[in-house]
Amino acid sequence: MSYVIHGYRPEKLFRYFEDLAAIPHGSGNESAVADWLEGFARERSLDCVRDEWNNVLIRLPASEGREEEPALLLQGHTDMVCEKNRDTVHDFTKDGLKLAVCDGWLHAEGTTLGGDDGIAVATMMTILDGGIASHPAIECLFTVAEETGLIGAGNFDYSLLRARRMINLDNEELGILIAGCAGGIRSEISLPINTVPCALSRVEIQVKGLCGGHSGGCIHMGRANANKLMARILLALHGAHAFRLVSVEGGSKDNAIPRECRAVIATDAVEESLAFLAAYEKTVAAELGEEDRAFHLETAVSSATATDRAMDTLATSRMLAFLSSVQDGVMAMSHDVPGLVEYSRNLGVVSMDTELCRLNCVVSTRSAIEAQIDASVAQLDALASMLGGKTRHHSRYPGWNYEKDSAIREKYLESYRRVMGKDVEVTIIHAGLECGIIKNHLPDMDAISVGPDMQGIHSPDERMDLASCEKFWQILVSEIEG
């Protein structure tokens, strides 16, 4: 295998990351990685447990002289968010990632990188492969389907764990130590649509160029949601020049702020609609933040055939009403922690099922307060019911409450200060972490979440700072070697 990362230490860490990147491992497709991990453990005579979900637990015995110390759990997930640019040809179920290094940052060409959470996998494998000379007994837990609802962590048998100290390796900022997170739920909404034969000309509209990002960590940054932006544009256009909606599709992951959305309308006012869209594009662009400055609309006109269909006028109005009215973005800020998002929603996916004549949407709700998640569920149920639709709520996961006293946190603070010469910031985040599920099963688990610097996760702009990976490794060595 030809590697692209050179000159960074420990070399083994980066080799394992590239080996992982060569294996397709999107959420729900982690079996090949589990095979790889099992083979890795077998070659080194390490105790390994693989469950029916493809979660893998590998145990490393304590080094000589440290057998009496409490065991340490390291944990991360093997799946990645599979996002790509529309013009990128890549099959995430078959193709490995095409990695490249630019100015010290690792990225994948036209796709997500999988640094979230491939760096955890590579880190644990390096430790299991003798990367740290002196250590207590270490348990490395590789979970699956984290990105689609923390499913692997939710189904793991925690009676297998001996450790009650835990370092979660799913953080994307070296200078931040996470000590708490939000809970959440996924909601699938299905709305019936009625279509009729329609020979009117077609206008295709595409929202493109938005920044996107993680629907938890970036939700407070004011980045536009392509699905919501398309709804606004269509509603405004419909008020000026009535049309029939043919289709609308945007986003592919509920936990990623959608960057692109495509809609097709049927209209007898083609030129007027194009002129309106050109003017409204400027209106919207003037409101967007710097990160969304590449926003633009792309339009194309085509003729209809005798067999083409479109939504009737009532279905068009209902779909525009739903997409425009479903709340998205920050819903509430914390009263107790300045600057912390307490409650949010992300309209992550909109798609059409033409065979069943339904519009399908997926919404991610996050909150540190369980009652707010319950309220979101009830609101979405009510909104869908008004339009004759159905909802399905699943993949609910608990939050992780901040604890005033934490021995593992204090030790990491010391290790960080020793390596970096300054203090790490301790914070609570709005995104979900598997720590919440693990703490729910093992309340006495003392946990932190840490990691190197990454940017643009859950988008094709994802990249990882290689120098920060070196520093992160040094901090972990200091933490574990004591």
43 burial (CB, 10 Å; 0-12 / 13-18 / 19+) is exposed
Q: Which string of DSSP letters, residue by residue, matches 420-458?
A: HSSPPEEEEESS--HHHHHHHH-TT-EEEE----EESTT
What DSSP state is assigned to residue 290? G
The helix/strand/coil state of 5 is coil
Query: Before 254, cis peptide (omega within 30)?
Result: no
Alpha helices for 312-406 (secondary structure H):
313-325, 370-386
Q: State the catalytic residues.
A: 79, 146
Look at residues 256, 265, 75 and name the one whose alpha carbon lies nearest to residue 158: 75
23 Cβ partners below 8 Å, 6+ apart? 32, 33, 36, 96
Find the length of the chain: 482
CB 359 within 8 A of CB 187: no
Query: Before 460, cis peptide (omega within 30)?
Result: no
φ, ψ (nearest 5 deg) of residue 455: -135, 150
